[in-house]
């Protein structure tokens, strides 16, 4: 159990840790997740492309469940391609002679998006495989 002193300290810390207070600070922090667009869903054109790939992969006789899981695989693959394109653009922009730590941190941050996309693709592929085997 937490003591009264610990509870009071936690409340004081929470008051100081609530994020930006000014309109400018809130505006700046609201753009953190969309710096490179990877946290946004696929745009319509890319989504249509992924759906077309999924229909080809699923085949003519696929049921709705098989088509849905195949679409998940295709969307994750398109997401991986999008991440790799952003990584290539960042790599081209980095000057190795005078490494900017900010650009290097952005490059490292892409790993989280890529791991998440790999996980989505692996889970969807496993589900598709199970459905194809009749399970």
Are 88 and 115 in the same domain? yes
Are 65 and 93 in the same domain? yes
> In which domain, by residue range, is 14 found?
1-30
Question: Distance between CA atoms of 84 and 36, rounded to whole angstroms?
Answer: 12
Are 77 and 25 in the same domain? no
What's the pLDDT at 35?
Answer: 60
What's the pLDDT at 36?
Answer: 61
Ranges in the chain, pLDDT < 70: 31-42, 44, 96-97, 134-135
What's the pLDDT at 26?
Answer: 81
What's the pLDDT at 135?
Answer: 58
Distance of CA 32 to the CA centre of its chain: 13
Does any domain span residue 37? no
Q: Work out how many domains the chain is built from and give that number.
A: 2
Does any domain span residue 120? yes
What DSSP string describes 30-52?
HTGGGSSSTTSPPPHHHHHHHHH
Total-model pTM: 0.62
Are 54 and 2 in the same domain? no
Are 47 and 102 in the same domain? yes
Please name the residues in contact with 110: beta carbons below 8 A apart, sequence gap of 6 or more: 36, 38, 83, 86, 87, 90
What's the pLDDT at 86?
Answer: 86
């Amino acid at each position: 159990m937490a003591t009264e002193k610990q509870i009071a300290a936690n409340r004081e810390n929470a008051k100081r840790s609530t994020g930006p207070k000014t309109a400018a600070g809130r505006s700046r922090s609201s753009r953190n997740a969309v710096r490179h667009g990877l946290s946004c869903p696929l745009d319509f054109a890319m989504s249509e492309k992924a759906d077309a790939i999924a229909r080809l992969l699923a085949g003519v006789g696929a049921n709705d469940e098989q088509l849905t899981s195949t679409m998940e695989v295709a969307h994750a693959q398109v997401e991986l391609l999008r991440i790799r394109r952003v990584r290539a653009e960042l790599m081209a922009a980095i000057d190795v002679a005078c490494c900017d730590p900010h650009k290097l941190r952005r490059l490292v941050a892409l790993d989280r998006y890529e791991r998440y996309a790999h996980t989505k693709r692996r889970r969807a592929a496993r589900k598709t495989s199970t459905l194809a085997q009749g399970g």
